[in-house]
Each structure stands twice: as C-alpha cells, then as structure tokens.
C-alpha cells in the first residue's frame, strides 16, 4: 500500500484548542493549493458518528466499562482509517485529524488504567498500523483547559480533575517516549502563536517531502 499524502494528528486534553488550530491550518494549507481533509475521532464516518453518540452521551443510563470503551473508540478508528484516511493519503492529500491513537493510549491506557504498553499493540492493529507523519500535542494544565471549556457536557469531559490530570501525564509520557513524532506545544500560548509554530513545523515536514511552501 503506497501512501503519498501526509497524515497529521492533533491531541490534547479538554480545552487545549485543537479544533481552532486545525481549522486555521486547514484554511492556510488550502490557500496554498494543498488538498486537505479535515476529520475527527471518534467519528469521521457514518459508523463512527453512531459510535460517537454512544460514547459521549452524558444522559446515557447504560454503563460502559473501560475495555468496552476502548473497543468502541477502536471500532470507530478502524472504519475511519479504512473508509476515509487511507483513501485520502493514497490520493496524495494532507489529512488533519482531531485525535487518533494517542488519545486512546492517554485516555483509556493512562486515565482508565488499562495500561499504555498493554493496549498499544491492540491500538496499532485496529488502526491498520497507520502511524501519523507527526502528532501535534497541545499541552495544557487541565484546570485551565476545563475552565476554558466552560460547561462540561459529555460523558468523558465530566470526569474528575484527577482523571484529566492522568490524561495529561500520559500524553507527556508518550511525547517523551516518541520525541521523533510527537511534538509538544504550550497551549497556554495564544492561538496565533501556536498556529505559527504548528504551521512552521508542517512547512518543514512538507519541505522534507519535496513540497516546499
Ligand atoms: P470531543 O467532543 O471530540 O472532544 P475534544 O473536542 O476534546 O476532542 O470528544 C471526544 C472525547 O473522547 C474526548 O473527551 C476524548 C475522548 N477520546 C478517548 O477517550 N479515546 C479516544 O481514543 C478518542 C479518539 C477520544
């Protein structure tokens, strides 16, 4: 399987500003005539959006144990990679994805205590062994992130502060383990500053792939 495009993922705790960053980058890359696909997890496909509703429904009365939760995120990802991401990459597009494998490792592996190392091979298999060209991790103190977010509406957002702190620790651990592909951005900075830093990094990666801006 040849993949000609580039796959960038965006990770972070609640209120880190991923969505604003992705929107800004997608717009800028489009003005430079790159073909961009903007997508998200859980979701991105019809099946994924159904799974998203099950996972995030705050009013749901059914309980979801950590292993079941992981399976649902991974099912959404398998479909998303097969149906959206791989075809886009084979078409030479730049894919910007809001959350991917690192979210499962941090949330389910770290915060839900399933174990990062234990679930890593399962996550990899379910993602068709697809590894992002680069992971942009937006790091924020959860106290600030949750404040920024305001009213917490979904099932995972509404977890305790300790849970959100475990997520941050897990992301920072992953970034330390994989400095070659996970870049840490200080999400306490302004949106403008983060945008410029992330865009410069994407420009470098594009140049390294023979696509100078
Ligand atoms: P979403 O509304 O997309 O939140 P955000 O804007 O913070 O990305 O909700 C996705 C939630 O699902 C978020 O709390 C992170 C969580 N999540 C996991 O727990 N595991 C995963 O593998 C993924 C992709 C997301």
The mean pLDDT value of the chain amounts to 95
Beta-carbon contacts of 5 under 8 Å, excluding residues fewer than 6 positions away, are: 88, 89, 90, 91, 92, 93, 94, 95
DSSP letters spanning 35-78: -EEEEESS-SSHHHHHHHHHHH-TT--S---HHHHHHHHHHHHH
Tell me, yes or no, whether 165 lies in a domain. Answer: yes
Give pLDDT, residue 3.
Answer: 66
Establish whether residue 64 lines the binding site of ligand 1, counting it when its CB lies within 6 angstroms of any ligand atom: no
What is the band of 161 on the pLDDT scale with cuts at 50, 70, 90? very high
What is the band of 90 on the pLDDT scale with cuts at 50, 70, 90? very high
Tell me, yes or no, whether 1 lies in a domain. Answer: no
Has residue 2 got a pLDDT over 60?
Answer: no
- At how many degrees (to 10) do helices 66-80 and 116-126 cross? 30
In the chain, what percentage of residues exceed pLDDT 70?
98
CA of 213 to the centre of ligand 1 (A): 32
Has residue 124 got a pLDDT over 90?
Answer: yes
Tell me, yes or no, whether 125 lies in a domain. Answer: yes
Tell me, yes or no, whether 34 lies in a domain. Answer: yes
Q: Rounded to the nearest 5°, which phi and psi values hold at 97?
A: -120, 125
Q: Range of 105's domain?
A: 6-208
Strand 36-40 relative to strand 6-12, pairing: unpaired
Ligand 1 atom 7: residue of nearest CA: 14
pLDDT, tens only, 169-213: 999 999 999 999 999 999 999 999 999 999 999 999 999 999 888
Tell me, yes or no, whether 42 lies in a domain. Answer: yes
- The CATH number linked to 83 is 3.40.50.300
Tell me, yes or no, whether 213 lies in a domain. Answer: no
Has residue 39 got a pLDDT over 90?
Answer: yes
CA distance 163 to 85: 30
CB-CB contact of 37 with 84 (8 Å): yes
Using the 8-state DSSP alphabet, how is residue 132 labeled?
Answer: -
Over its C-alpha atoms, the chain yields an Rg (Å, rounded) of 17
Ligand 1 atom 25: residue of nearest CA: 103
Give pLDDT, residue 169.
Answer: 98
Establish whether residue 9 lines the binding site of ligand 1, counting it when its CB lies within 6 angstroms of any ligand atom: no
Tell me, yes or no, whether 114 lies in a domain. Answer: yes
Establish whether residue 41 lines the binding site of ligand 1, counting it when its CB lies within 6 angstroms of any ligand atom: yes
pLDDT, tens only, 107-123: 999 999 999 999 999 99
Give the residue, out of 41, 58, 99, 135, with the most ligand 1 atoms within 8 A of its beta carbon, to mutate for a pocket test: 99
* Domain total in the chain: 1
What is the band of 1 on the pLDDT scale with cuts at 50, 70, 90? very low
């Amino acid at each position: 399987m040849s993949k000609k495009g580039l796959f960038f993922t965006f990770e972070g705790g609640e209120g880190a500003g991923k969505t604003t960053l992705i929107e800004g980058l997608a717009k800028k890359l489009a003005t430079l005539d790159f073909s961009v696909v903007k997508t998200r997890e859980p979701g991105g496909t019809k099946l994924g959006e159904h799974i998203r509703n099950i996972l995030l429904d705050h009013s749901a009365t059914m309980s979801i144990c950590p292993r079941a939760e992981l399976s649902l995120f991974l099912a959404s990802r398998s479909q998303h990679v097969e149906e959206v991401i791989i075809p886009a990459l084979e078409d030479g597009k730049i894919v910007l994805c809001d959350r991917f494998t690192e979210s499962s490792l941090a949330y389910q592996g770290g915060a839900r205590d399933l174990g990062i190392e234990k679930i890593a091979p399962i996550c990899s298999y379910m993602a068709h062994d697809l590894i992002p060209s680069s992971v942009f991790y937006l790091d924020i103190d959860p106290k600030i992130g949750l404040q920024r977010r305001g009213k917490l509406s979904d099932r995972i957002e509404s977890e305790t502060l300790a849970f959100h702190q475990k997520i941050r620790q897990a992301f920072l651990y992953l970034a330390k383990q994989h400095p070659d592909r996970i870049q840490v951005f200080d999400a306490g900075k302004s949106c403008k500053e983060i945008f410029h830093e992330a865009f410069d990094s994407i420009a470098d990666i594009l140049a390294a792939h023979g696509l100078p801006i």
